[in-house]
Amino acid sequence: MSLLVVGSVAFDGIETPYGKVDRTLGGAASYFALAASHFVPVRLVGIVGEDFTEKDRAIFHGRGIDLSGLEHAPGKTFFWAGRYSQNMNERTTLATELNVFANFRPTLPDSFADSAYIFLANIDPTLQRSVLHQVRRKPKVVGLDTMNYWIERTPAELREILKHTQILMINDDETRQLSGEHNLMRAARHVFKMGPKTLVIKRGEHGALMVHNRFLFSVPAFPLEEVHDPTGAGDSFAGGFMGYLASTGRVNEQTLRRAMVYGSVLGSFTVERFGVERLTHLTRREIHARARRFAHLTTFTL
């Protein structure tokens, strides 16, 4: 099953209590693609600048990630920098330099136009909509992420793309902001009226909650002794979730529940190391072993 992701490819500067890197591969689409590629081949659409070298491209090589939709433009690649607090619960953004990303107009290569599973990572909702216009037949699943900036600045455009979205994956603050409801269950009901019938609320160290109009499912964050860098956890969660779902070819309660677990598994591996490093040194065996540990972690009898 073909899985397409559209979103940022970036260089990140990251500071956490465990260390500091000045420039490492990042961006939502990078984390998503590397996580999802453990399940299915991935098609990536994004933009990078002249400073993005063959060495950077090579990180995606040999993993079934098709980069024919990665545009190289004159100028510099999107740069983002952030610093985490001592307990890792807060993040201060130190720099957001859009560079070539400011003029990003996603263009799908012809060979991507039949994509059945699509993830629209956090970008301008108008651009997210333009991606769906370029798809030739109705996708099986459209997943979408967004952020406070778009909820505040482009509410009408966001409403429009939500009408075409089946699975909305956002964090708890964004859920409250989008719905105007503090209670997450009431917020979900509000979201269902906008289009998506599945809401996945990412809650960082508290795991993730899936609210479907017929059932609820909750998954914890994997209890790790050391979190080195939380960057990209949400995007890796989305990659594990959509990758697993696409690998089954079926969307039902059982596959959605398992997708939540694989999302949490991939998110938990990402935060063990800086940047995308852990995702690039990860085996299927490790993924399935951790999924089994999730099963043990959450099973009980009454």
Sites of contact with ligand AMP (CB under 6 A): 8, 10, 12, 26-28, 80, 96, 122, 231-235
Query: What's CA 256's distance to the chain center, in Å?
Result: 16
How many CB atoms within 10 Å of residue 2? 18
Tokens representing residue 154 in the block: 């482009």
- Identity of the residue, 99 or 115, whose beta carbon is nearer to ligand AMP in the bound complex: 99
d(CA 56, CA 112): 22
Which residue pairs from 214-221 have beta carbons closer than 8 angstroms and sit at least 24 positions apart in sequence?
Answer: 214/253, 215/253, 217/256, 217/257, 217/260, 219/260, 219/261, 219/263, 219/264, 219/294, 219/298, 220/264, 220/294, 220/297, 220/298, 221/264, 221/267, 221/268
CA quadruple 178, 187, 82, 79: dihedral sign:
negative
- Identity of the residue, 26 or 207, whose beta carbon is nearer to ligand AMP in the bound complex: 26
Considering the complex, what minimum distance in angstroms separates the CB of residue 93 from ligand AMP? 7
d(CA 265, CA 290): 6
- Identity of the residue, 149 or 215, whose beta carbon is nearer to ligand AMP in the bound complex: 149
- Identity of the residue, 2 or 82, whose beta carbon is nearer to ligand AMP in the bound complex: 82
Element (H, E) at 55: helix 54-58
By beta carbon distance, the residue nearest ligand AMP is 26
Considering the complex, what minimum distance in angstroms separates the CB of residue 46 from ligand AMP? 10
Pairing of strands 3-6, 65-72: unpaired
- Identity of the residue, 112 or 150, whose beta carbon is nearer to ligand AMP in the bound complex: 150
Considering the complex, what minimum distance in angstroms separates the CB of residue 149 from ligand AMP? 7
Considering the complex, what minimum distance in angstroms separates the CB of residue 10 from ligand AMP? 3
Considering the complex, what minimum distance in angstroms separates the CB of residue 146 from ligand AMP? 10
How many CB atoms within 10 Å of residue 299? 7
- Identity of the residue, 2 or 233, whose beta carbon is nearer to ligand AMP in the bound complex: 233
Considering the complex, what minimum distance in angstroms separates the CB of residue 24 from ligand AMP? 9
How many CB atoms within 10 Å of residue 139? 18
- Identity of the residue, 139 or 232, whose beta carbon is nearer to ligand AMP in the bound complex: 232
Considering the complex, what minimum distance in angstroms separates the CB of residue 120 from ligand AMP? 12
Pairing of strands 3-6, 42-48: parallel
